[in-house]
Amino acid sequence: MSSASSRALARPRASAPSASRFRGSRRASALFARRRPLRSRDSSSSRDVAAPPVPPPIRAAASSSSGFGGPPVNRLDEGAARERVMRLASQTAQGAGALEAISGCLASMPGATNHRLALFRFPTPKSILDTVALNLHQPRWVVAFDALANAPRRPGDPPFCFGVTHPAEVPPAEAIEPGADPVAPAVGSVGFVCRLDDVYHDNKEERLYVTSKVVGRFRVDRVVADHPFFVAETSEVFDEAIEDDDAGEEAERKALREAEMRVWALLLETERLGRKIDDSELASSTALDYDARRCSPIVSERPPWDADPPAPERRAELFSWAVARRCHLTEAEHLRATRTTSTRERLELVVEKLEEGVRFLAAVSAVEGEAGEEGIEGDDKAGEGAGEGAEARKASDATEPRER
C-alpha cells in the first residue's frame, strides 16, 4: 500500500454537522428540543439519512456595542422592545390597564377622524402646526403609544392620533401624582389632535420617544375611560367657513381679508425692524417662518416649491395659527384662540401682540441708533480736542525758551 493510500485511510472521516453548532440562544435550544429530526429514505440503500439541521433565526442583542451581532447601543431592537412592551402589559397594573383603555381608540378609523382619543396632559399650550415631542417612561404610556404606533391600518390610512389637553383646563403637572390623572376633563373642554410621526424605543434607558404633529382641535363629548389615563369621545373643531357664493357673507369675507393683510403687514414690519437690531437671538425670532409664508394671504409670497400646500378652505385658519404660535400668548389668551371658531377673531387677538412687538422693536432700534450717534459724536469731539492741543503745543514751543 502506498504512502498516499495509508494517509487517506488514517485521515478521520468528516462527520455530519452537529445541531449544537446552530444553538446560539436559549430560544434556539428550545426550538431544537421541540422539533424531531427529519429523516428521508435513501432510494439507493436501506439506510436512513438525517436531514441537515435548520439554523435558528439570528436575533440581535439589545445591548450589543460591537458592529457584529446587533445594532449599536440605544438603537432600536424590535425584539427587545416588543418583549419589554409585552412584559409591561402583562406584569404591571398600568400596562394592563393601558392596553385595555387604548383598545377602544384602535377600534375606529385612524387619523384625525378617530374620534375616540387617549388624552395626554401637556404642561404648555400647543397650537396647530406645532410639533409635540414626548419622552415617556411610565408603563401606561409606553404600552399605549406602542399600540398606537403598531396598530394595523389599511393602505393609505394616516397614522393614529392622540389628544393633548389644554393646560388652562387641567391641573398643573406638579399637582398630580405620577401615573395618575385624578381630574377628568369636563365635557366641552378643548384640546389638540396630534398625529404620530415617529416612535423610537430606547432599550438601554427603557424610554419611549414620540414625535407628533398637531393637526387639529377636539372638543370633549363624553369620557369613556378613566384608568390609567382618560379616553374621551370627541368631535373635531373647525373655524366657520365663509361661502363664496353667499352674498350675505360679503362683509365678513371683507373683514377677514383686511385682518389678514393687517397681520401680514405687521409681520413684515417686525422682520424689517429685527434686521436693524444688534441682538442676533432677538433678530432671528422676528424672521418670517416657513408656515407663515406658505399660508400667506398673498399668493406671490407663498413658496413655489411647496409640494403640499394648505387646502384653500383651511388656509386662513392655518395662517392665524402660524402667527398665534409665535406671539407668546398667555394661557387665557391661548384658550380663547383655541375655543373660537372665527378666524378673524383669532387674527384680531394676535394683532394686539404684533403691534406691541413692533413698538418694542422700534424702541430698541431707536435706542441703539442714538447710542451709535453718541459714539460717533464723541469720537469727533475727541478728535477736535486732540487738534486744539497740538496747535497749543506748537504755539508754546515757539514762545517758550528751550533748555540747551
Q: Which residue, of 202, 237, 272, is where some domain finishes?
A: 237
For 118-134, the pLDDT digits (tens) are 999 888 899 999 999 99
- Higher-pLDDT residue of 204, 303: 303
Section 316-326 average pLDDT: 94
Question: Are residues 124 and 266 both part of a single domain?
Answer: no
Q: Tell me whether residue 47 is in a domain.
A: no
In a domain, 162, yes or no: yes
Find the domain containing 156 and state its range. 78-237
The reply to whether 152 and 256 lie within a common domain is no
Type of residue found at 209: Y
Residue 70: which pLDDT band, with cuts at 50, 70 and 90? very low
pLDDT for residue 184: 83
Residues 231 and 297 in one domain: no
Q: Give pLDDT, residue 176.
A: 58
pLDDT at 107: 78
Tell which residue, 333, 120, 76, has the closest CA to residue 212: 120
When divided into structural domains, the chain yields a total of 2
Across 2-6, 158-162, 343-347, 383-387, least confident range: 2-6
Looking at the fold, whether 204 and 284 belong to one and the same domain comes out as: no
pLDDT at 42: 39
Answer yes or no: do 219 and 91 share one domain: yes
Does residue 164 sit in the same domain as residue 310? no
| Cα gap 87→244, rounded to integer Å | 56
| pLDDT bucket at 380, cuts 50 / 70 / 90 | low
Whether 209 is covered by a domain: the verdict is yes
Whether the pLDDT of residue 287 is over 80: the answer is yes
Residues 380-385: contacts with CB under 8 Å, at least 24 apart: none
pLDDT band at 391 (very low <50, low <70, confident <90, very high): low
Q: What share of the chain is helix, strand, coil (3-state, %, to 5)?
A: 45, 15, 40
pLDDT tens-digit profile of 8-47? 444 444 444 444 333 333 333 332 233 333 333 333 333 4
Task: For the chain, give the percent of residues with pLDDT over 70.
Answer: 67
The mean pLDDT of 59-63, rounded to a whole number, is 32
Q: Per mean pLDDT, which of 89-93, 147-151, 253-257, 258-262 is the most reliable?
A: 258-262
Q: What pLDDT is stored for residue 154 in this prediction? A: 83
| Rounded Cα distance, 402 and 404, in Å | 6
Residue 212: closest CA among 236, 195, 188, 227: 195
* Distance (Å, whole) CA 92 – CA 83: 14
Same domain, 230 and 269: no
In a domain, 399, yes or no: no
Mean pLDDT of 353-362: 91
Q: Does residue 395 carry a pLDDT above 70?
A: no
Residue 373: band (very low, low, confident or very high) from pLDDT cuts 50, 70, 90: low
Across the range 363-392, mean pLDDT stands at 60
pLDDT at 169: 85
Residue after which a domain boundary falls, among 334, 350, 365: 365
Residues 183 and 163 grouped into a single domain: yes
- Cβ(84)–Cβ(201) below 8 Å: yes
Residue 68 lies in a domain: no
CATH number at residue 207: 2.30.130.40
* Residue 307 in domain: yes
Residue 374 lies in a domain: no
157/214 same-domain check = yes
Is 194 in the same domain as 270?
Answer: no
Query: What's the average model confidence in pLDDT over 201-206?
Result: 85
Residues 6+ apart with CB under 8 A from 226: 181, 184
Model confidence pTM above 0.85: no
**Tell me: the pLDDT tens digits for 216-263?**
999 999 999 888 999 999 999 999 987 666 666 788 889 999 999 999
Same domain, 114 and 251: no
Q: What's the confidence (pLDDT) of residue 76?
A: 59
Residue that is last in its domain, among 237, 256, 276: 237
268 and 356 belong to one structural domain: yes
Q: Which amino acid is at 153?
A: R
Our measurement of the distance from residue 209's CA atom to the centroid of its chain's CA atoms, rounded to an integer in Å, reads 9
Q: Is residue 271 part of a domain?
A: yes
Taking all residues of the chain, what is their mean pLDDT, rounded to a whole number? 75
